[in-house]
């Protein structure tokens, strides 16, 4: 039997696993039908023994390669739910499900829409999503990294070893994906990205993560935001009929981290739930109709006030969990107070765990430093012309309105997006195709975003913080304007 298994091995693929540069691990690992049964393969570096757990039986597996590659043969072509039991060199016994026994949750239509930049709910596909597939509980991971040699999911659940869970690449989109049985809510994870060229590996936080560790730690956290609790239907219905051009608005701008802090706990923060009660009480007494929160998206540096974002789809863990933030939003609405969120599509920080050089190339940022580096803030500028990048941003604006019921977004630093020469001297910028300083790619993004946002949200607002005299900021896109509802003046 051992020779039969040996003869059925894909040794080229096994070598790719050993060198950790295989982007199609499903071709080697998992279940593979033969003429008279199935070969089942698994990997566990540091294991000396392995058994296949199938239908209540333990079937011995053969160590085919000393780096931890095991295989066995069963006389059945349809192998159902199964897992593996590994005995490590130190005697520890662990059980893991087979990640390569599950189909992708991203279909061809998803890839096509994403490639075109019009998958407005891409956040439901990319990121980390707990789910049950074929009766097996786990988490589905998906990340866009088209130029990576290999991407793996790493975390405490596999001792941060990138050899354990290499992801499957979807070639039409450059998305890597994998369903990992047994990984659930609360698991801490990152992606280990092996770059092409230098063959170095980088640990990256998930761009679409819905939660993150409390700083200074930078890993992403598996959570489930599909079950957030809402009782603000009355507010949402009222908002649908709200005419911001006729109704009075008085907006209180606030940074949650510095507005009020616990006196007895130096360096700590109030929870979103506590802040909701205190802030609602204050703004009602003062006669405000709305609050505008300085960015609550995850960010590593307190001093940035949230304006250097690394986790665009995660409310910062400084003040609690996604459930806590949903409570904040819901409570404010129940108190009759609208919530506008500051949002930062103009730039992002260079932190190596974040979006910068995500797959070893300039993926989210423009590769030309004259267009991709911000001269004032030392940050990176999004490549607005790339469909997948514009999709990331547009879907993110929709995400906060749809998932967290935001009543509007206030777009930061719009002027820096509109002008190619913003903050630059002669010779430091690239003119557009007509020789001007207007950033056509950013303008198209704003047109696209504002058009879709107004169609898909229930009368939520889009506000521009635009510090120059750019014309027609609040004129509709159809009339030749940028399509914003309001302009936030600098004073």
pLDDT digits 0-9 by tens, 67-76? 999 999 999 8
Please give the full DSSP string across 182-195, using - where no structure is assigned.
Answer: T--TT-EEEEEEEP
Query: CA-to-CA distance for 102 and 100, rounded, in angstroms?
Result: 6
CB 290 within 8 A of CB 337: yes
**Which residues are tagged catalytic?**
412, 465
- Please report the pLDDT score of residue 489 as a whole number: 81
Packing angle, helices 440-456 and 387-402, rounded to 10:
30
Reading the chain (491 residues) residue by residue, the pLDDT tens digits are 566 666 677 888 889 998 889 999 999 999 999 888 999 999 999 999 999 999 999 999 999 999 999 999 999 888 989 999 999 999 999 999 999 999 999 999 999 999 999 999 999 999 999 999 999 999 999 999 999 999 999 999 999 999 999 999 999 999 999 999 999 999 999 999 999 887 889 999 999 999 999 999 999 999 999 999 999 999 999 999 999 889 999 999 999 999 998 876 677 899 999 999 999 999 999 999 999 999 999 999 988 898 999 999 999 999 999 999 999 999 999 999 999 999 999 999 999 999 999 999 999 999 999 999 998 889 999 999 999 999 999 999 999 999 999 999 999 999 999 999 999 999 899 999 999 999 999 999 999 999 999 999 999 999 999 989 899 999 999 999 999 999 988 75
- Please report the pLDDT score of residue 1 as a whole number: 56
Instruction: Using alpha carbons, list the distances in angstroms from residue 390 to 71, 113, 122, 163, 305.
Output: 44, 12, 12, 32, 24
Q: Is the peptide bond before 216 cis (omega within 30 degrees of 0)?
A: yes
DSSP-derived 3-state class of residue 261: coil
- Please report the pLDDT score of residue 261 as a whole number: 87
Q: Name the phi and psi angles at 204, rounded to 5.
A: -120, 135
- Please report the pLDDT score of residue 491 as a whole number: 59
- Please report the pLDDT score of residue 294 as a whole number: 98
Domains of the chain (ranges; CATH) run: 2-97 (2.60.40.10), 108-225 (2.60.40.10), 228-487 (3.20.20.80)
Output helix, strand, coil percentages for the chain, rounded to the nearest 5: 25, 25, 45
- Please report the pLDDT score of residue 107 as a whole number: 97
Residue 430 CB neighbours (<10 A): 13
- Please report the pLDDT score of residue 35 as a whole number: 86
DSSP 122: G
Q: Where are the alpha helices (DSSP H) in 212-255?
A: 233-240
Joined tokens for residue 441: 């790619």
- Please report the pLDDT score of residue 340 as a whole number: 98
Query: CA-to-CA distance for 51 and 40, rounded, in angstroms?
Result: 11
- Please report the pLDDT score of residue 194 as a whole number: 96
- Please report the pLDDT score of residue 198 as a whole number: 79
* Selection from 293, 299, 201, 209 nearest residue 255 by Cα: 293
- Please report the pLDDT score of residue 6 as a whole number: 66
């Amino acid at each position: 039997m051992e020779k039969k298994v040996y003869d059925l091995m894909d040794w080229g693929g096994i070598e790719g696993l050993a060198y950790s540069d295989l982007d199609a691990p499903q071709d080697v690992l998992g279940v593979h039908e033969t003429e008279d049964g199935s070969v089942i393969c698994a990997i566990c570096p540091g294991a000396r023994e392995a058994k296949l757990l199938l239908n209540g039986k333990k079937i011995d597996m053969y160590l085919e390669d000393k780096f931890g590659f095991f295989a066995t043969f069963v006389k059945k072509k349809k192998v159902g739910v199964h897992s593996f039991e590994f005995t490590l060199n130190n005697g520890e016994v662990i059980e893991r499900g087979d990640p390569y026994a599950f189909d992708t949750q991203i279909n061809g239509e998803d890839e096509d829409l994403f490639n075109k930049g019009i998958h407005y709910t891409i956040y439901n596909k990319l990121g980390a999503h707990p789910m049950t597939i074929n009766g097996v509980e786990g988490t589905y991971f998906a990340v866009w990294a088209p130029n990576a040699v290999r991407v793996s999911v790493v975390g405490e659940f596999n001792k941060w070893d990138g050899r354990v869970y290499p992801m499957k690449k979807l070639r039409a989109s450059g998305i890597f994906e994998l369903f990992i049985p047994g990984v659930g809510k609360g698991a801490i994870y990152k992606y280990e990205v092996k770059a092409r060229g230098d063959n170095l590996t980088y640990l990256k936080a998930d761009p679409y993560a819905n939660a993150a560790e409390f700083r200074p730690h930078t890993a992403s956290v598996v959570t489930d935001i599909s079950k957030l609790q809402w009782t603000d239907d009355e507010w949402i219905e009222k908002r649908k009929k709200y005419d911001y051009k006729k109704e009075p608005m008085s907006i209180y701008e606030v940074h949650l981290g510095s507005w009020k802090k616990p006196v007895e706990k130096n360096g700590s923060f109030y929870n979103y739930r506590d802040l909701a009660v205190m802030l609602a009480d204050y703004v009602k007494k003062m006669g405000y109709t709305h609050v505008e929160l300085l960015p609550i998206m995850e960010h590593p540096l307190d001093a940035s006030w949230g304006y250097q974002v690394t986790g665009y789809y995660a409310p910062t863990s400084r003040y609690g969990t996604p459930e806590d933030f949903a409570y904040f939003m819901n409570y404010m609405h129940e108190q009759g107070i609208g919530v506008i969120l500051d949002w930062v599509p103009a730039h992002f920080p260079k932190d190596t765990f974040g979006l910068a050089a995500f797959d070893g190339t300039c993926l989210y940022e423009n590769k030309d430093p004259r267009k991709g580096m911000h001269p004032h803030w030392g940050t990176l500028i999004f490549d607005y012309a790339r469909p997948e990048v514009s999709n990331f941003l547009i879907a993110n604006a929709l995400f906060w309105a749809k998932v967290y019921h935001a009543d509007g977004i206030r777009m930061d630093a719009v002027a820096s997006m509109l002008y190619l020469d913003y903050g630059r001297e002669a010779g430091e910028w690239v003119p557009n195709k007509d020789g001007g300083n207007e950033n056509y790619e950013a303008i198209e993004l704003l047109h696209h975003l504002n058009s879709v946002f107004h169609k898909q949200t229930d009368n939520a607002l889009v506000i521009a913080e635009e510090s120059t005299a750019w014309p027609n900021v609040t004129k509709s896109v159809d009339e030749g304007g940028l399509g914003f509802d309001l302009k936030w003046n600098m004073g």
